[in-house]
Amino acid sequence: MDRLILTNIHELVTCKGNTPKLGTDMSDVGITDDDCILIEDGTISEVCKTKEILKKYRANEFQKIDCSTNAVLPGFIDSHTHFVFGGYRQDEFAKRLEGVSYMNILKAGGGISNTVSATRNSSLDELIADGIEKADRMLEYGVTTVEGKSGYGLDKDTELKQLRAIQNINQSHAIDIVPTFLGAHLVPKEYKGKAKEYLDFILNEVLPIVKLENLAEFVDIFCEEEIFDIEQSKAYLSKAKEMGFEVKLHADEIVDIGGASLAVELNATSADHLLMVSESGINDIAKSSTIATLLPATAFSLKKKYADARKIIDGGCAVALATDYNPGSSCTCSIPLIIALAALNMDMNTKEIVTALTINAACALGKQDEIGSIEIGKKADILILDYPSIDFLPYYASMNIVKTVIKNGNVIRR
C-alpha cells in the first residue's frame, strides 16, 4: 500500500463539506494547526493530530513530509477554461490597447472567428501537444483539476477534434480535466444570420456523437446580445439536458439579458462571467444551487468593470473563481493573478478566495463529492505552500508560492 503522511501542519485549511458555501459561509475554511493527513492509495484516509497518527505506524511504513512551517490546503480547481485551441491573438490584444473594443474586433471578423480558423487548421496531435504544455503550467500554479471547453471549431469535425484532444490529455496528464462542449460559442460564418439552424445542426449532428463517445460532461452556450439570445439558449440547453448532459452558461458578461436567471431556471451547474448581472439575477442565484463563477482575468484583460463579487457574495450566492484561460480575452492560466485581482479589485478576503478556488469550484463542476476539500474519502489533491498561512497568497501579489503539489496522493511537483 502506498502511504504518505503530512505531519505537524502549521495551518491546515480543510474547506470541509460536500455542498457549496454561500455568502458569509465562504469565510469558513476550517483552519486548524498541528494536524496530520494520512494518504493511502491516493485517498485521504485520516485527518488528525500528528501525535495520534505517528503512534499507529512505524517510520518505515510511510513517506513523511514535515509541514511545520507550511500552510496546507486543497488543490486549486480552475472551473472555466478554453485552454485547447490553435493559434494566438496577440495582434488583437495590441489593438485593444489602442482603444478598439472586443465586440468591434469580433464584428470585423476577428476574435473567436480568428481562433476558429487556426483551430480548424491544427492537427489533433498539435492540439494535444500544446494542451499538455499548458496543463504542465497549470500544475505549477497548484491546479489539480481543470475544466476544458471546445468551441473553437464551430463545425462537426473540429469540435470533435477539440474534445478528443481534451480526452487524450486527460488520459495522459496528471491533472484531471472535466470536458465541456461549447459548440454554441458563436454563429459561424457558414450560418451567418441563421442562429437557430446552427443550433439545430449541433443538436442533431454533433451532440449525439459527443454523447455516444462520452466526450463531454457539460454543454455550455454563450448567452449574449447579438450572439445567442435567451430563447435560443433556453431551447438549446433544454434539449441538451434531455440528452443527458449537465449545463452551464456564459451569462450576462457584456450586456444583462437575463442569463443568470435563465441559468437558475434550467438548474445549470454554474452561471459564468456575470460582469453585468442584475440584482434580480443575483437574488435568483442566491435561492438556487447554481454557482456564480467569476472570471476576473477577463475583465482585467478587456479593461472592463469587474464582476461585483462583494455584492454577489453578500447577496447570499456561492462564488467560484476561474481563469477563463483562452487566446483572446484572458490569455493566462495564472492562479496567483486571479487571487491578486479578486483580493485587490473585487474586495474578496483570503478565505473567500480559497473557498472560491476549492470547494465552490468543485461544486461548479459537480465534483464536490470527490475533490475540493481535505477530508476522509476524498482524492488526495493537496497543496503545500512555501509559507505558514494562506494569507500569503494575496500578500505576495501574482507570485506563485505553491511549494508542493500532491495529486491523487502522488507528489508530482516539489
Across the range 212-241, mean pLDDT stands at 97
pLDDT at residue 237, as a whole number? 98
Across the range 30-58, mean pLDDT stands at 89
To the nearest whole percent, how much of the chain has pLDDT over 90? 86
Residue 68 belongs to some domain of the structure: yes
Q: Which of 13-27, 48-62, 175-189, 209-223 has the lowest mean pLDDT?
A: 48-62
For residue 18, the enclosing domain spans 3-74+373-413
Q: Which of 105-114, 192-201, 231-240, 383-392 has the lowest mean pLDDT?
A: 105-114
Nine-digit cell at 20?
457549496
pLDDT at residue 280, as a whole number? 98
* Higher pLDDT among residues 72 and 329, named by residue: 72
Q: Sorting pLDDT into bands at 50, 70 and 90, what band is 59?
A: low
Phi, then psi, of 314 in degrees rounded to 5: -65, -20
The chain-wide mean pLDDT, for the chain, equals: 95
* Higher pLDDT among residues 102 and 118, named by residue: 118
pLDDT at residue 157, as a whole number? 98
Domains identified in the chain, total number = 1
Across the range 251-275, mean pLDDT stands at 97
pLDDT at residue 107, as a whole number? 77
pLDDT above 90: residue 61: no
pLDDT at residue 29, as a whole number? 98
Across the range 263-276, mean pLDDT stands at 98
What string of DSSP letters covers 43-58?
EEEEEEEHHHHHHHS-
Residue 46 belongs to some domain of the structure: yes
Q: How far is CA 335 from CA 2, 85, 344, in A?
A: 30, 20, 14
pLDDT at residue 263, as a whole number? 98
CATH of the domain at 10: 2.30.40.10
pLDDT above 90: residue 323: yes
Residue 118 belongs to some domain of the structure: no
Residue 23 belongs to some domain of the structure: yes
CB 174 within 8 A of CB 212: no
Q: What is the pLDDT of residues 104-146, one digit of tens each?
A: 887 777 888 889 999 999 999 999 999 999 999 999 999 999 9
CA gap 125, 86 in Å, rounded: 11
Residue 149 belongs to some domain of the structure: no
pLDDT at residue 113, as a whole number? 83
Q: What is the pLDDT of residues 352-368, one digit of tens each?
A: 999 999 999 999 999 99
* Higher pLDDT among residues 114 and 148, named by residue: 148
Helix, strand, coil content of the chain in percent (nearest 5) = 40, 20, 40
To the nearest whole percent, how much of the chain has pLDDT over 70? 99
Q: Sorting pLDDT into bands at 50, 70 and 90, what band is 1?
A: low
Residue 188 belongs to some domain of the structure: no
pLDDT above 90: residue 226: no
CA gap 332, 325 in Å, rounded: 5
pLDDT above 80: residue 102: no
For residue 243, give every residue at least 6 positions away whose Cβ sits within 8 Å of its Cβ, in sequence order, or none. 207, 208, 211
Residue 70 belongs to some domain of the structure: yes
Across the range 45-59, mean pLDDT stands at 84
One-letter identity of residue 336: P
Residue with cell 458569509: 24
pLDDT at residue 141, as a whole number? 98
Q: What is the pLDDT of residues 155-172, one digit of tens each?
A: 999 999 999 999 999 999
pLDDT at residue 100, as a whole number? 86
Across the range 389-393, mean pLDDT stands at 98
Residue 347 belongs to some domain of the structure: no
